[in-house]
A and B are shown apart, each in its own frame.
Chain A
Amino acid sequence: MKFVLSRVGQALLVLWAAFTVTFVILEVLPSDAIETKYNNAGGDSVNLTEENLDALRSEFGLDLPLWQRYLQFCGRAIQLDLGNSISQNRPVTDLLVENLPPTLQLAGFALAVGLVAGCAIAFLANWLRSPLLRRALTRLPALGVAFPSFWIGLLLVQLFSFHWQLFPATGSRTPASVVLPGLMMAIGPAAILAQLLNRSLSETLQEQYIVTAGAKGLGRGEVFWRHALRNASLPALTILGMMVAGTVTGAIVAETVFSRAGVGRLAQQAVEVQDLPLVQGIVLMAAFAFVTVNLIVDLIYPVLDRRIKVS
């Protein structure tokens, strides 16, 4: 219990730090969200007068001194009110609630595919007896990390949407629309997971107790599943937390390339027009997801390895 409380305290600290750092970074930039929105938006200038701009600044509370705005932001954030987006003039919480489901679907699909593919590659690389195939599978992840994901995305679109017309190229309306962006997003995590799991598996398989288990007459499969995989999965579990956090950045690219609604695309647009309340909201949400997943991972450790005590 004490452990959980201290971790929650740490999590809150992380949230506050993320919030403050974002605020400071966006504030030191010389630009102004109001001017950005209207002076050059959509390739067409709106030609507002200085008077209009001033009125808009005070409408969004941007005319207040810095410290006052920071306190205001903090005060509201505690009440889960993230203010209104400057670029879309709607409550940030509404925008997040609307855009979260498609991103969760995408991230869920990508993580599932990444997990299965990563484990499968690592498993096969250690299970197969052909040295050629083993080497090929061991090298494969490096390739997945090396190619830029947007390039893979465009390739997927060209092949599976424009050429074979199997999946839609854009949008997030239909379940099938999750496939291509999901695959693109899955490649990175799958590659990292495969690399890590492969290494720890091959190390574990050379351990004394595995040899012993084999000598005691246990079948190859049983040794693999019951002894090797369980012990080798600990480092992989640690990276899982990172992978979840990585889906946020992955979603930015995937949703932009595939024109999907979602938090990633929202983030990209918010940063582009320096929409402070919206960027703050997204950062807070991502930070929240990150600390939650890490908390869960910490709690699962002892279940997998009894030697680890929650403390």
Chain B
Amino acid sequence: MHKLSPRAAITAATITLLLIGTSACAGDKSDPGNSSSPNGSPVKGGRLSIAFTSDSGCIDPPQTGFIEDRIIIRQIADTLTDQDPETLEIVPYLAESWEVNDTATEYTFRLKSGVTFSDGSALDAAAVKATFDGILELGPLATGAGRLITGLESTEVVDPQTVVLRFSVPNAAFLQATTNASLAILSPDSWDKAPEDRCVGDYIGSGPYTLNEYTPNESASVDRRSGYGWATSVAENQGEVYLDGIDFSFIAEPSVQVGSVTSGQLDIAWPRAALSEDNQGLIQAAGGHTLSREMPGVSETQIPNTTDGHVLSDLYARQALVKGIDFSGIAKAEYWEGYPVPTGIVAETTPGWVDQSEAYAYDPEGAKQLLEDNGWELDADGYYAKAGKRFTIRWLVFTNVSSESTAALVQDQLKDVGIEVEIVPLTAQDGAAVLEAGDYDIGNIASTRADADILRQIFDLTTVADSSAAKKSQDPQTAAKLSELFALQLTQVDPTQRLQTIAEIQELLVDQVVAFPLNARIQVFGLAERVNDVKITAENLTLTNDAWLSK
């Protein structure tokens, strides 16, 4: 036995940390978040307990877009299609096949036969029609589903297994929308219930589990449905699930989630933000493992206010700003060594993602040069100024979603290139008014969807709300060009053509610095030792069809 020298100990510790870091964030497209472990083959039985950060208080599919609500919905109701988390392709679920017409205005789905709701009634074309009619009838209350069914006009039953959905305007993004739990198919009777009753789970689905209990903001539990046999193609297990049931709870504090896992009170800590390196270490020390994947869609994206009179209305100023930010420095300081840096305007897990890493290379000298070439001069305090006006930006930080410490880091980095940052911490409720009034230079938005149409929902100025952070992000020319491209991609049924347009959109957004991501949104979950084969879906929901518990 020999003693480790302090130096060797530090080296060993660093290597261990690096290993933990890399293993925890190996959750790119290449890793679908498969937690298969060497614990043998699946056995039936046991209840899985899982804690989320929070729910919205409503689990009626069309009325919620909350990820955590959708996870619960996904267990008790099925969707027409699903999305492969690796290839990001749309695969069969309730529908075994589908056709889209040339103008993306007509979707025909052929349903699997023999599918029933948990009350025994048949899931047929009439049930699909009842669902989409019910969503249209909900009107503005369908906040989760509404944004997915843009242009939906009517649903027609062709025969018991065939249903056609017609749109008044092209909607090429609709196929991916049918993977979304907000468009889960419910029994026709469910749509006779009052919307507020469906919110607390008073509806019938066809999912692998049935709802046992739902207490908004506290807990939910689901039990295995016997005879289930129409699982998503994403799951290996096509039949009944292995678990007896799942108990969900909502615990806001990540350290309490982790402590509950390490003390054996909880199986899975599933917080919204990545578990910290320390918390990952605790999970691993207790014999557990972590699971991770980058959230698809638009990460915590910073959106400059480019309206007249604001310093960032100048494209060179925006470019200098981005050059002056050290993204890998942020990843290292806010997360851990090896945490991925943003690679583009959308996350890598979004179909059609274009690698734009080059645009986010740290180049402080380039930033200064760019400003000096364009008439900016350093003032007495070391900040750039032009025509007597200092390069000062008001940076909004929504404290419910972003961290002030990240903003402080950016403030330090930009100070080095002569840009002054004034951090304005805001709560969500104050945010809308500030964004609408326009008294800011940087706002932000995060939104999850595994389809690039999410960019249209955020950046198409012809539709976004006045209180949206993107409302002031584009000059008229850019806005018109983007709008045109957004409309175009919705007409393109051919995936290659559509992805081409989507690539153009991403280029334009980056070239014009309409927005830039501050960090990648990697989720890291902590699982107890006995949990096997829990997977992450394409939109980072929990897939439990294959999950089982070691005895």
Report which A residues bind B (CB closer than 8 A): 29-33, 35-36, 38-53, 55-56, 59, 84-85, 87-91, 95, 98, 154, 157-158, 161-163, 165, 168-173, 256-257, 259-261, 265-266, 269, 272-274
Contact = CB atoms under 8 A, between A and B. Distances in A.
A36 B432 contact: yes
B306 interface: no
B146 A52 contact: yes
Interface stretch (B1-9, B111-119, B152-160, B457-465): B457-465
A260 B264 CA distance: 19
A39 B67 contact: no
9 contacts: A30-B433, A32-B432, A32-B467, A42-B54, A42-B67, A44-B66, A50-B465, A161-B260, A162-B259
A59 B142 CA distance: 12
Contacts of A161: 259-260, 263, 265
Interface in B348-391: none
B447 interface: yes
Contacts of A39: 428, 431-432, 465, 467-468
B401 A170 contact: no
Contacts of A46: 65, 143-144, 147, 447
Select the residue from A51, A53, A162, A265 with max chain B CB neighbours within 10 A.
Answer: A162
B196 A170 contact: no
A41 B57 CA distance: 12
A165 B286 CA distance: 15
A266 B217 contact: yes
For the complex of A and B, the 4 pairs showing the least CB-CB separation, nearest first, are: A55-B140, A261-B218, A35-B432, A31-B429
Nearest to B196: A90
A169 B433 CA distance: 38
A70 B262 CA distance: 50
B42 interface: no
Nearest to B259: A162
B147 A47 contact: yes
B80 interface: no
Given A40-B401, A157-B259, A165-B263, A45 B429 contact: no
Contacts of A173: 219
Contacts of B57: 85, 87-88, 90, 269
Interface string B262-294: 111100000011000000000000000000000
B11 to A, nearest CB: 32
Contacts of A49: 463-465
Given A52-B146, A56-B141, 4 more contacts: A29-B429, A42-B56, A89-B195, A259-B250
Select the residue from B66, B143, B446, B468 with max chain A CB neighbours within 10 A.
Answer: B143
Interface string B177-220: 00000000000000000011001100000000000000111110
A265 B55 CA distance: 13
B3 to A, nearest CB: 31
B71 to A, nearest CB: 12
Select the residue from B66, B199, B260 with max chain A CB neighbours within 10 A.
Answer: B260
Contacts of B139: 55, 59
Contacts of B432: 31-32, 35-36, 39
A291 to B, nearest CB: 28
Interface string B461-477: 00111111000000000
Nearest to A88: B57
A162 B446 contact: no
B398 interface: yes
Contacts of A87: 56-57
B78 interface: no
A165 B259 CA distance: 11
A273 B65 contact: no
A274 B465 CA distance: 19
Given A52-B146, A90-B196, A272-B429, A47 B468 contact: yes
B253 interface: yes
B58 interface: yes
Contact of B265 (A40, A95, A168, A257): A168
A269 to B, nearest CB: 7
A152 to B, nearest CB: 14
